Amino acid sequence: MATTDINTADTARDVRTIDGVVDVIASTAPEIRTGLPGRRVTAEDENPSGETQMAADVFADDLLCERIGALEGVGEYASEERPESVDVGTGRLSVAVDPLDGSSNLKPNNTMGTIFAVYEGPLPAHGRDLVAAGYVLYGPVMTMVVARNGTVDEYVIHDDASYELVREDVTLPDEGSVYGFGGRVPDWTDDFEAFAREVEQDASRKLRYGGSMIGDVNQILTYGGIFAYPTLESAPEGKLRVQFEGYPIGYVIETAGGATSDGAKSLLDVDKDDLHARTPMYVGNTDLVAKLEAALD
């Protein structure tokens, strides 16, 4: 289980701020989704990770920065789309977001999402500094998953920006039934490829990989199993960003009773001091993540 939760936020103001961040994410999601059709084109710039920005990335980032930054209690805002964090107030909580995870899926009209993390302290922060995290999934239905106060809840977001609780205290199923592995197979390490082939041999598991990390992780939260974006021969540090993807997804999955790893330890224990640092990511049921770590040892 994730060990840091809302109880570490020692003032009522922090509680209100966390609730406010969740409200902003939920109320902004319909506007982000509505704005996607006219923004399926590339922007002029690359993001700090060297990836081509979509106009929708910039649009979502600007909306979230303005609205989260207006919350009393938030001191810093950072996103995958900005080279540095932005000082937005005097609060002691910081918010990091991936405004539009999977934006490359705009062209084929596939799943995307928004990921958020609330840290106690300045950025870049550590995984154990998290007090809340979650994501919105722009699927056939808009849903929001939130981990805070030691539990994970799922909400449906309506077009009028209202949202309602549909599942309380979400946990991974005991028997995982899906798997998804990112990166090009020829770029996998030998140890990971051997593990992946073993997972594939289990006829009870189905391949689920859509090219949007948050959509693939949501499959794991729903059905159980394992998702990995592994160490690659060409990218030993992996692809996914620690502050914006690794820590918040680690927090959600571990709070839901699952396990996470960078190949050797919990994602929440990864120690990187660069805002845009990357990490390999392995998340899922505890038994499968343990087997993965043993395979890579």
In this structure, the strands spanning 206-207 and 281-284 are unpaired
Three-class SS of residue 131?
Answer: strand
CA dist., res. 20 & res. 34, Å (int): 22
> Residue 126: which of 148, 96, 84, 87 has the closest Cα?
96
Spacing of C-alpha 221 from chain mean position = 12
Tokens of 119: 């840290």
Residue 104 assigned to a binding site? yes
DSSP state of 20: H
**How far separated are the first and last CA of the chain, in Å rounded?**
23
Residue 102 assigned to a binding site? yes
Residue 81 assigned to a binding site? no
What percent of the residues of the chain are helix, what percent strand, and what percent coil, each to the nearest 5? 35, 30, 35
CA dist., res. 253 & res. 109, Å (int): 26
Residue 273 assigned to a binding site? no
Residue 73 assigned to a binding site? no
Biggest CA-to-CA distance, the chain? 54
In this structure, the strands spanning 178-181 and 206-207 are parallel
Residue 154 assigned to a binding site? no
What DSSP string runs through 187-245?
A: GB-HHHHHHHHHHHT-TT-EE---S-HHHHHHHHHHH-EEEEE--BSS-TT-SEEIIII
Residue 275 assigned to a binding site? no
Residue 266 assigned to a binding site? no
| Rg for the chain, CA atoms, rounded | 18
> Residue 65: which of 93, 20, 24 has the closest Cα?
24
The annotated binding site for substrate is made up of: 101-104, 209, 239
List the binding residues: 80, 98, 100-104, 209, 239, 245
Annotated binding site for Mg(2+): 80, 98, 100-101, 245
